[in-house]
Amino acid sequence: MITLDAPQQETASSRSYAALWWLIPITIIAIVLRIQYLSEVGYLFDESFSLKMAEFPSGEMLERIPDDISPPLFYLTLKAWMGLFGSSIYSTRMLSVVFGTIAVACVYLFVYEAYRNQKDDNGKRQAIFAAVTSALLMALCPLHISWAQRIRMYSMGTALTALSSWLLFRALNKHQTHTRDWACLTVTAILLVYTHYFGIFTLAVEYVFACGYLFLNSTEKNVSARLANLKPLLISAACVWFMWSPWIPQFLYQRSHVNQAFWSSPLTWDRFGSQLFLLFDLNLWFSNSASTGLIAAEVCFVLLAILIMGRRPADIYIAMAASLPIFTAAFISKLSRSVFAHRYLQFSQIFMLIAIAVLLSRLPIKPLRLGITVLVISGMGFFAWRHTEIRERYAILPGMQAAIARFEKTRGPKEILICCNPMLYTSADAYATNRNSIFVSGSADRYPYYQGTAVIRDGEYFSATQSLDDSVQAVWTLDAQRWFNHSWSVDMPAGWNKTGEMKFPEFYADLILRLYVRDDKPEKENKVINTKVSD
């Protein structure tokens, strides 16, 4: 094991802090890309679901979270953030922007820490080169830009993944055990496992790697003495298990939900390839193709194999962290309900970006190294530009915000809006100023849990066939076309006529606002109501 004496450690530490100035322009780039059209693009269902979950009182929220498929930490964090900065679309999305920016910085810190313990100055320059390139690729990567613009837990999980990797190598690189380093790693690991369940795969890689590193790199010849080196690691793992164990019953309950019903399709080679296609942002250049995704996976496998040939501990760790969680997810998906989705795999994708950066730093000829690095970064920059261009097109669509504004502007005193599905309802509810007039059609048992029933109270369901008494003369519905390749609409009972409709294009669907009146409505009043959707 390569170690540093005290003077060398001080020099390395000083050099690492001196190199941090690179993070200033990289961080600015990351922030600028992540705040593009932050409040102009409409909410996705997952985002409005998160907002609605965070609005419940803490006790009720913790009761409802098990009916979702995620652990509680992000919702608790979002609730605290909303208490400090408000619930506007800009302020709530800024939480993910902050975590996305932290992830970029932590990638730099991890890569430099993982490779800085080298005797020659050239090796240290390589470490800085790899760290800067990794952070730039992370800052420009559309996958991470996109999820840093959404109110979900993925940017938080990515930041904790990079942070825990940095803290792990800080602990491993110390000649003597430092309780503070292991304590920080333990706390970060606990936060990660409570942020997203795929963090468990990353933590498994971290602890397995650390176990092998501490045992095999020990200078002790006695096996028992080598095993003694594992003490801080085992204590850390035990603490993580102890802190996570109270949530295990809820996790198993959520897992049973997924096994019974989930939105994902069975894992086939086509799905495997198509999800990897999206994981590497190839959809910004090519038409969706499973075969292209499989080719990309083969290229990544070759690159990781080349990386391992370097036989440095960090090489092995990066290859493990980039591949094993993906293989584990595929294995689980073949045994039971598929959980193989590209957004769940982004904690591993960052290590693929790091592997590319490390390999670039090792190209022996400087002009070649710089030329190929500029080419790779330019390619990622092109993808970032394509993502921003697409987001600009989304931003000009009227969408849900305009539909709800139209309803609230023209509705009568007793008129209500019925949404065709809970997934539309949560977004409509997020934009509404008067939430008491918006409902979701039907009842909870009509919808699968993954369509958002966990955040809808019983009083927010409304059955048009049962609840429309004679005093209600006009009703609005919010339907959708081109949504998951289907048309969705509220089933109105007999005796109601559609008098008008308006289309509000959104990036994920065409939203249709419709107005219905009773058959026995006087013709004069009918014409007045009809102007609400035609003026």
Spatial distance between the Cα atoms of 531 and 58, rounded to a whole number of angstroms: 44
Per-residue CA distances from 262 to 44, 74, 249, 333, 455 (Å): 18, 21, 19, 12, 17
Co-location of 444 and 378 in the same domain: no
Residues 218, 142 within the same domain: yes
- The answer to which of 309-313, 402-406, 425-429 has the lowest mean pLDDT is 309-313
Q: Is the pLDDT of residue 6 over 80?
A: no
- Are residue 364 and residue 459 in the same domain, yes or no? no
Question: Measuring CA to CA, which residue among 175, 231, 210, 181 is closest to residue 2?
Answer: 175
pTM higher than 0.75: yes
* HEC assignment per residue over 485-520: CEEECCCCCCCEEEEEEEEEECCCCEEEEEEEEECC
Of residues 1 and 150, the one with the higher pLDDT is 150
Q: Which helix (H) or strand (E) holds 418?
A: strand 417-419
Q: To the nearest whole percent, how much of the chain has pLDDT over 70?
A: 91
Task: Give the angle 205-209-211 at the CA atoms, nearest 5°.
Answer: 120
Q: What is the mean pLDDT of the chain?
A: 88
Tell me: do 147 and 289 sit in the same domain.
Answer: yes
> Residue 178: inside a domain, yes or no?
yes
Q: What is the pLDDT of residue 534?
A: 55
| pLDDT for residue 8 | 47
62 found inside a domain: no
Closest listed residue to residue 424, CA positions, set 484, 497, 496: 484
Task: Give the span between the Cα atoms of 39 and 43, in whole angstroms.
Answer: 9
**Boundaries of domain holding 136:** 18-39+88-267+275-394
Q: Which residues contact 486 (CB under 8 A, 6 or more apart)?
A: none
226 found inside a domain: yes
Mark whether 301 and 366 lie in a shared domain: yes
pLDDT of 239 over the 70 cut = yes
User: Which tokens hold the place of 44?
Assistant: 């996705």
- What average pLDDT does this structure show over 398-410? 94
Residues 334 and 389 reside in one and the same domain: yes
Pairwise CA distance, residues 379 & 374, whole Å: 8
Q: Is 338 within a domain? A: yes
Q: Which of 354, 374, 394 is the last residue of a domain?
A: 394
- Range in 94-98, 154-158, 176-180, 298-302 the model is least confident about: 176-180
% of the chain residues with pLDDT over 90: 66
With 60 as the cut, is the pLDDT of residue 4 above it?
no
Are 301 and 378 part of one and the same domain?
yes
In this structure, is residue 296 part of a structural domain? Answer: yes
3-class secondary structure for 229-293? Answer: CCHHHHHHHHHHHHHHHHHHHHHHHHHHHHHHCCCCCCCCHHHHHHHHHHHCCHHHCCCCCHHHH
Please indicate, yes or no, whether residues 180 and 161 belong to a single structural domain of this protein. yes
Within a domain: 65: no
pLDDT at 466: 66
Domain boundary among 394, 424, 448: 394
Q: Please indicate, yes or no, whether residues 96 and 219 belong to a single structural domain of this protein.
A: yes
Tell me what pLDDT residue 535 has: 56
Is 527 found in the same domain as 496? Answer: yes
Question: Are 387 and 436 within one domain?
Answer: no
Rounded CA separation 92/97 (Å): 9
- d(Cα 273, Cα 502) in Å, to the nearest integer? 39
Task: Tell me, yes or no, whether 282 lies in a domain.
Answer: yes
When divided into structural domains, the chain yields a total of 2
241 and 300 share one domain: yes
Place of tokens 């730099």: 108
Dihedral over Cα of 170, 176, 179, 182: its sign: positive
Give a yes or no: residue 100 inside a domain.
yes
Tokens linked to 290: 């499973």
| pLDDT range class, residue 256, cuts 50, 70, 90 | confident
* Each residue's pLDDT tens digit, 272-294: 999 999 999 888 887 777 888 89
Q: What confidence score (pLDDT) does residue 15 get?
A: 53
Last residue of a domain, one of 379, 394, 409: 394
Higher pLDDT, 261 or 362: 362
Pairing state between β 510-518 and 486-488:
unpaired
